[in-house]
Chains A and B, each alone.
Chain A
Amino acid sequence: MGELPALSTAGTVGEKKGEAPKAPPPASRKTLVDWLGVLPFFLFATMFLFIPSFSIFIRSFEKLGGGFTFDNIIALFTKSDIVNAYKTSLTISGVTALLGGVFGFLMAYAIVMGGLPTRIREFTLSFSGVASNFAGVPLAFAFIATMGNAGLITRTIETWFDLDLRQAGFSIYNSLGLSIVYLYFQFPLMILIMAPALAGLRREWREACENLGGSGGTYWRRIAFPILMPTLLGTMVLLFGNAFGAYATAYAFSGSFINLVSILVGAQIQGDVLYNPGLGNALALGMMAIMATAMVIYLYLQRIASRWVR
């Protein structure tokens, strides 16, 4: 997770574009110092983003044992288990990004605008900070212990209602179950990012709207949503990437029994019989392509959404 450092830059690049022409060209010495300041970032991005991405690209065309081949790329579109893995990964990421986005937004709204006592508000925000980083092995175990076959909730329901949930076909070890697990960190992340954005909506705007005869609906449709839209979209792309790249959580949850792209990459790189790093790289390249597409769509939408904010 957290493999989207580019997202924050994307946001600032968009904003800077608007400012740049206005600012007078600064003295050349100052520019040099400015560049020095961002140098560590570019070094970091080169070493941990660009070089690895480039290496993934090159090695996607590598045969097992060396040599050039298109087989790995072709396999992405022809091998049914790979196609299915992409479908599953996309579905889980899409669904959890959407649900996390919508309900996280509503929750953030309730916290910021709902007039909750400060203490509850503070508590919810701190909790979100912790929960949004609760992932990997501990998260998987937490869900197994509460909702697994012998989990606390499962067993409680079984005892109260005298049911056998397993006989009824209930299991959290499937993609729906994994989606629930992912939502546990998707939700709070959305709250965490949306809460300050919502708090940034000025009371005066609403009052101005009301003074001009606009209803609550008009305010949201014409003012609040357009202002929030870039943040909303950006965060949903972040949630999507968060779920799409997750490996440790899924693996601790159900081994490689749920067919995800990240799990397949792991099997190609670590497995013995399945060992084919070229295909593993090609799979990762596919993931990068999907993430890049998501980013482009995001940038495009953000451009439309933020047109009048500029």
Chain B
Amino acid sequence: MSKPIDRREFLKVTGAAGAGAAFLAACGGGAEAPAGPDLSTGAAIPMEELIAAAQAEGTLTTIALPHDWANYGEIIETYKTKYSMEVNELNPDAGSADELEAIRANKDSKGPQAPDVIDVGVGYGPTAKAEGLIAPYKNSSWDTIPLKDAEGYWWGEYYGALVFEVSKPAIENTPVDWEDLLKPEYKGRVAMAGDVLKSNQSVQTVMASGISRVGGVDDTVESAMKAAEAGLQFWKEMNDAGNFIPVIADQGRIAAGETPLVIEWDYLALANRDALAGNPELEIVVPKTGVLAGPYAGGISAYAPHPYAARLWWEFVMGDEGQLLYLKGYAHPIRYNDMASRGVIPAELSEALPPAAAYAGAVFLTVDQLNETKKYITENWRSVVYGE
């Protein structure tokens, strides 16, 4: 088969990565383009057609969806049974950066290691779009999503706030604010739930402590950068005091008491509390200041081996049913307000969350702020915190 124009050029011309994937598939094995509804416009596909096309593909490949994260276990299970699909789950512990790398690494491969859909920290959405790693799709709930890319490349799915997850027998006095964590009584006890160089959650942890220190941010990049600086300073003091344990906390390490004081998204902390069921008892504290909301963004790989299954996934996850499943996993669904106004949220789900007042001062950063601070924090983490 001849290649009249190179791949990048082709993508530029069509602006349609779905078609690009088809083109690649055609080049690779001489297979025909996926028969099915048009993907190039990014417009919502009618459900019946979409379900048929997805079922013809049969499988969806996901990445970085731990089953105890925002109720993904149930979400995946429901998707499987509802649409009779298979789900191939790649590395559930991957960070946002790893997810984009998985797309990059599998650009020319349609194998089972190529992810169809991603779930990344919202700051990674624009990066992925700029690099041409994701394809646009405006699902049928699009208009009621408050946080999204105007062209449909990525959209908010759910958000949570960073909280302190305190293992009760090991920690006598529960800290109530960020500065408390520096007290000598917490020596060798404070841990993050990810790797600062790779994980969005840990970068936001640094950011939240900084916001608490500078007393809040407005929507300019400058004020966010001040908070980022203060955040690194905070963790330098934490490390110098010996309070910081440089180990990545997970449910097992929390249960074992290895990391008795962890900073984590509220939905993860609450899910851990339920899963450990009192052994040990976990107290979840929304800090008094520096309450940072962290939205996660969804997207479809521009090189997805199963483009229709991917779009069906988002129709399901972003629809009321999927959104309520997030809420069941203690994550605030991004369409919360829309669903609340229509009265479709069961009372027992909204009551299971910590009181709404605790989140009243929650800070939502802009995408620009997120990108600039993420860059600053990861590049300076070592030099500021470890003096290297």
By a beta-carbon cutoff of 8 Å, the part of chain A in contact with chain B is 80-81, 84, 144-145, 148-151, 165-167, 169-171, 173-174, 253-259, 267, 269-275
Known: A84-B388, A257-B247. 11 other contacts (CB 8 A): A145-B256, A150-B257, A150-B258, A151-B258, A170-B188, A254-B247, A267-B198, A270-B101, A271-B197, A274-B379, A275-B97
Distance of A149 Cα from B100 Cα, bound (Å)? 34
Distance of A173 Cα from B374 Cα, bound (Å)? 25
- In the complex the two chains form, is A270's CB within 8 Å of B245's CB? no
Provide a sorted-by-A list of 7 A–B residue pairs whose CB atoms are within 8 angstroms. A148-B258, A149-B257, A150-B256, A169-B188, A254-B246, A256-B198, A270-B97
How would residues 170 to 192 of chain B score, 1 for a CB under 8 Å from any chain A CB and 0 otherwise?
A: 00000000000000100111000
Whether, in the assembled complex, B248 has its beta carbon less than 8 Å from a beta carbon of chain A, the answer is yes
Q: Looking at the complex, which one of A84, A166, A274 makes contact with B378 (CB distance below 8 Å)?
A: A274
- In the complex the two chains form, is B247's CB within 8 Å of A272's CB? no
Distance of A171 Cα from B243 Cα, bound (Å)? 11
By a beta-carbon cutoff of 8 Å, the part of chain B in contact with chain A is 96-98, 100-101, 124, 127, 184, 187-189, 194-198, 242, 245-248, 253, 256-260, 374-375, 378-379, 382-383, 386, 388
- In the complex the two chains form, is A255's CB within 8 Å of B258's CB? no
Name, among A148, A149, A274, the residue most crowded by chain B CB atoms within 10 Å (CB to CB).
A149
Q: Which B residues are in CB contact (< 8 Å) with A257?
A: 195, 246-247
Given A149-B188, A173-B247, A255-B248, the answer on whether A144 and B379 have CB atoms closer than 8 Å is no
Q: Looking at the complex, which one of A151, A166, A259, A275 makes contact with B382 (CB distance below 8 Å)?
A: A259
- B378 CB, min distance to chain A CBs, angstroms: 4
Q: Which B residues are in CB contact (< 8 Å) with A80?
A: 383, 388
Q: Which A residues are in CB contact (< 8 Å) with B96?
A: 272
- In the complex the two chains form, is B124's CB within 8 Å of A272's CB? yes
- In the complex the two chains form, is A273's CB within 8 Å of B246's CB? no
Distance of A210 Cα from B124 Cα, bound (Å)? 74
Q: Looking at the complex, which one of B188, B198, B260, B383 makes contact with A81 (CB distance below 8 Å)?
A: B383
- A150 CB, min distance to chain B CBs, angstroms: 4
Distance of A7 Cα from B258 Cα, bound (Å)? 40
Q: Which B residues are in CB contact (< 8 Å) with A151?
A: 258
- A157 CB, min distance to chain B CBs, angstroms: 14
Q: Which A residues are in CB contact (< 8 Å) with B256?
A: 145, 148, 150
Given A167-B187, A273-B378, the answer on whether A149 and B258 have CB atoms closer than 8 Å is yes
Given A81-B388, A144-B247, the answer on whether A267 and B197 have CB atoms closer than 8 Å is yes
Q: Which 5 residue pairs across A and B have the least CB separation, nearest first?
A: A166-B188, A257-B246, A272-B97, A150-B257, A255-B195
- A130 CB, min distance to chain B CBs, angstroms: 25
Q: Which A residues are in CB contact (< 8 Å) with B388?
A: 80-81, 84, 259
Q: Which B residues are in CB contact (< 8 Å) with A165?
A: 188
Q: Which B residues are in CB contact (< 8 Å) with A166?
A: 187-189
- B199 CB, min distance to chain A CBs, angstroms: 9
- In the complex the two chains form, is B247's CB within 8 Å of A255's CB? yes
Q: Which A residues are in CB contact (< 8 Å) with B248?
A: 255
- In the complex the two chains form, is B98's CB within 8 Å of A270's CB? yes
Distance of A163 Cα from B246 Cα, bound (Å)? 22
- B85 CB, min distance to chain A CBs, angstroms: 29
- In the complex the two chains form, is B258's CB within 8 Å of A271's CB? no
Distance of A254 Cα from B195 Cα, bound (Å)? 9
- Which single residue of chain B is at the shortest CB-CB distance from A170? B188
- B102 CB, min distance to chain A CBs, angstroms: 10
- A68 CB, min distance to chain B CBs, angstroms: 21
- B272 CB, min distance to chain A CBs, angstroms: 16
- Which single residue of chain A is at the shortest CB-CB distance from B188? A166
- In the complex the two chains form, is B195's CB within 8 Å of A256's CB? yes
- A250 CB, min distance to chain B CBs, angstroms: 12
- Which single residue of chain B is at the shortest CB-CB distance from A172? B247
- Which single residue of chain A is at the shortest CB-CB distance from B246? A257
- A66 CB, min distance to chain B CBs, angstroms: 12
Name, among B124, B258, B382, the residue most crowded by chain A CB atoms within 10 Å (CB to CB).
B382
Distance of A80 Cα from B146 Cα, bound (Å)? 43
- Which single residue of chain B is at the shortest CB-CB distance from A272? B97
Q: Looking at the complex, which one of A148, A167, A269, A273 makes contact with B374 (CB distance below 8 Å)?
A: A273
- A143 CB, min distance to chain B CBs, angstroms: 11
Q: Looking at the complex, which one of B100, B188, B195, B197 makes contact with A167 (CB distance below 8 Å)?
A: B188
Given A144-B247, A256-B195, the answer on whether A272 and B257 have CB atoms closer than 8 Å is no
Given A150-B257, A257-B247, the answer on whether A273 and B375 have CB atoms closer than 8 Å is yes
Distance of A258 Cα from B253 Cα, bound (Å)? 19
Given A167-B187, A270-B198, A273-B374, the answer on whether A149 and B97 have CB atoms closer than 8 Å is no
Distance of A302 Cα from B375 Cα, bound (Å)? 48
Q: Which B residues are in CB contact (< 8 Å) with A84?
A: 388
Q: Which A residues are in CB contact (< 8 Å) with B184?
A: 167
Distance of A150 Cα from B242 Cα, bound (Å)? 16
- A95 CB, min distance to chain B CBs, angstroms: 19
- Which single residue of chain A is at the shortest CB-CB distance from B194? A255
Distance of A257 Cα from B239 Cα, bound (Å)? 11
- B319 CB, min distance to chain A CBs, angstroms: 29
- A81 CB, min distance to chain B CBs, angstroms: 4
- In the complex the two chains form, is A272's CB within 8 Å of B198's CB? yes
Distance of A40 Cα from B258 Cα, bound (Å)? 49
- B380 CB, min distance to chain A CBs, angstroms: 10
- Which single residue of chain A is at the shortest CB-CB distance from B199? A255
- In the complex the two chains form, is B246's CB within 8 Å of A271's CB? no
Q: Looking at the complex, which one of A171, A173, A254, A274 makes contact with B197 (CB distance below 8 Å)?
A: A274
Distance of A258 Cα from B197 Cα, bound (Å)? 12
Given A81-B382, A150-B256, A274-B378, the answer on whether A173 and B246 have CB atoms closer than 8 Å is yes
Q: Which A residues are in CB contact (< 8 Å) with B242?
A: 169, 171
